[in-house]
Chain A
Amino acid sequence: MSRSGLVVASLAVVVFSLFPVFVMLSTAVDEDANAGGRGIIPGGLTFEHFSRVLTETRFPDYLLNSLVVAVVTVLASGLLALFAAVAVARFRFSGRTKILMMILIVQMVPMEALVIPLFLQAKTLGLLNSLLGLSVIYIAFSLSFAIWTLRGFVAAVPMELEEAAYLDGCSWWQMFWKVLFPLVAPGLVAVSVFSFILAWNEFIFALTFMADDDMYTAAVGLRAFFTRSGTDWGAVMAASSIITLPVMIFFVAVQSRLSSGLMSGATKG
């Protein structure tokens, strides 16, 4: 392919990739967003849709719910996965291979097939409409990937460091927090980004579990802008921008570290 051919192809990929993002943002700041028959270029700029979404609707509550669920998921799944990764990377015990296989296989289970039994279970246990109940499900779904990734990072830490800490009089748990934890931190960052995005974006469980309006997550709460009398597209796109942009900027910012982290996690196993 010629030099100019590469440039044209590159621009085509950039436009195709960013087109929906552009439309989302341009509609969110367009005075005529709800006028109908508009193009994709704003007629006049306004932040009215953003201020309406943030002051006149329950959307800020939904954002807070999403944040709580995502943070709980990141912290809990990161910690549990690190424990499990240390167990399978540092110890040889009977049943180890079987457990690793099982963790790999449960990753194949379609979330969609579990929503019915988990809904019935949560109803029986009174866990519907609960941020904790929702987080626990996201923790389960992010664990498998997190364990497989962290396993590589733990294995890459030289065993001598742990032994030296032990000889210095550290207990096993002190060694865990002071030696192992800081050294696998890059792996934890990669794993956290993925579990955060999973929890932040998830729709089907949030839709099913959160029956009350005040417990909606942001992804589910967007539905409130679609009413019988019509769709408030300005509000939908402003709220969508608020949900999408921070995650996107963060993801793009850490992506090079992310992919190198995942690569080393995958190969150092």
Chain B
Amino acid sequence: MSSPALGSARRPWLLLAPTLAVIGILLLWPMVRVVILSFQDFGLRELVRGGAEIVGLQNYRDILTDERLWRVALPNTVVFAVVCVVLTVAVGTLVALLLHRLSPGWRTLVTMSVMAAWAVPAVTGTYVWVYLFDARAGFLTGILGQLGLIDVATTNLFTERGWFYAIATLNVVHHGFPFVAVTVLAGLVTIPSELPEAAMIDGANAWQRFRHVTLPMLKPVFAIVTILSTIWDFKVFTQIYLMPGGDGSNREVLNLGTWSYITAMSQNQFGLGAAIAVLLTLLLLGITALYLRTLFKEEEL
């Protein structure tokens, strides 16, 4: 770049300096620190007096031999995430396909509604679902009772792991599908309309057209929404923590995110909590890497 308007060679670094400082101090260093913490015995005493003893892999040994990891936190995290990702991507894609076929007026109405759902904060959205499934007064609890699925007089849905996570799934899918719908729709409009039309003339039904025309062309879009949904759904915190029992008072519904937080913040076992957080992060990195590898492998073919 020879333009004099650009100024000196120092200028880009001057412009970048504040950003690099913020990222370094608030993201990179804490990332290193959480790993260091996970090797330390860091409890209330260390919090007050400072200094912490390195205990090697002890925290990891404690977690990996804790049956709560295998029986509660890991299944809750993984099964919940897989179900949420599948449902979020499926619902989002169906809504995108619908939006793509609507007339402009209807499309605006549906888009506005979907956007409104997107803008509901996780906190307030969660309170609404909790209210709807409330043990005594809940509107949806009443409907479940009338359908004969539960006995309203004796049931508190939030104390049962399966129902707890079913409600959380509804909440997370409702919160997450608008992003998928909007992103997939943005991809759909880039497909030339001749392609599905030609397939239709060749006698392909709706599913075949989706499977053999839309899906291959939108593979990168689906990869992005699936990766992002996976990352989000594995570390769901707010929606679980704010449900009755989700703050640790019902140990059956812990997931890795809430377990890590409660271990550190409520029990002051910061080293142990950090080790759980590191495990969760490794899990996320592993899954992302797996996705990307599959993606690039298929690209080569």
Contacts and interface: CB of A to CB of B under 8 A. Distances in A.
B27 A112 contact: no
A236 interface: yes
Contacts of B98: 6, 9-10, 13
Contacts of B13: 87, 93
Looking at chain B's contact residues, is the secondary structure mostly helix, strand, loop, or mixed?
Answer: helix
B291 interface: no
B131 A114 contact: no
A91 B12 contact: yes
A116 B131 contact: no
A208 B264 CA distance: 11
A248 B120 contact: yes
Interface string A101-135: 01100101110111111111101000000000000
A8 B300 CA distance: 42
Interface string A187-222: 000000000010011011000100000000001001
Contact of B281 (A7, A36, A113): A113
B238 A204 contact: yes
A6 B270 CA distance: 53
A113 B128 contact: no
B9 A93 contact: yes
Contact of A116 (B4, B7, B117, B273): B273
A263 interface: yes
Contacts of A197: 119
A1 B280 contact: no
Interface residues of B, number: 85
Interface string A151-173: 00000000100110110000010
A143 interface: yes
Q: Of B27, B98, B265, which is in contact with the most chain A CB atoms at under 10 Å from its CB?
A: B27
Interface stretch (B107-115, B193-201, B214-222): B107-115
A93 B274 contact: no
Contacts of B80: none
A224 interface: no
A112 B23 contact: no
A251 B109 contact: no
A120 B22 contact: no
A35 to B, nearest CB: 8
Contacts of A57: none
Contacts of B139: 23, 38-40
Contacts of B19: 80-81, 83-84, 103, 143, 147
A18 B112 CA distance: 10
Contact of A252 (B26, B37, B116, B127): B116
A120 B27 contact: no
A117 B137 contact: no
Interface string A25-43: 0010000000111111000
Contacts of A27: 131
B31 A114 contact: yes
B27 A109 contact: yes
A24 B11 contact: no
A252 B116 CA distance: 6
Contacts of B109: 10, 14
Q: Of B124, B142, B284, which is in contact with the most chain A CB atoms at under 10 Å from its CB?
A: B124
Given A80-B19, A113-B277, A240-B128, A20 B101 contact: no
Contact of A109 (B6, B31, B101): B31
A92 interface: yes
Given A1-B101, A90-B6, A172-B7, A115 B278 contact: no
Contact of B137 (A37, A115, A139): A37
A112 B260 contact: yes
Nearest to A246: B119
B123 A87 contact: no
Interface in B62-118: 95, 98, 101-102, 106, 109-118
Interface of B: 1, 3-7, 9, 11-13, 15-16, 18-20, 22-23, 26-31, 33-34, 37, 42, 47, 95, 98, 101-102, 106, 109-125, 127-129, 131-132, 136-137, 139, 142, 174, 178, 182, 186, 206, 231, 235, 237-238, 241-242, 257, 260-261, 264-265, 270, 273-274, 277-278, 280-281, 284-285, 288
* Leading 10 A-B pairs by shortest Cβ distance: A166-B5, A140-B26, A117-B33, A240-B124, A91-B12, A201-B121, A87-B15, A17-B117, A117-B30, A248-B119
11 contacts: A17-B113, A17-B178, A20-B117, A23-B139, A39-B139, A81-B19, A91-B1, A117-B34, A147-B19, A172-B11, A219-B121
Interface of A: 1, 6-7, 9-10, 13-14, 16-18, 20-21, 23-24, 27, 35-40, 80-81, 83-84, 86-88, 90-93, 96, 99, 102-103, 106, 108-110, 112-121, 123, 136-137, 139-141, 143-144, 147, 159, 162-163, 165-166, 172, 175, 197, 200-201, 203-204, 208, 219, 222, 233, 236-237, 240, 243-244, 247-248, 251-252, 255, 259, 263
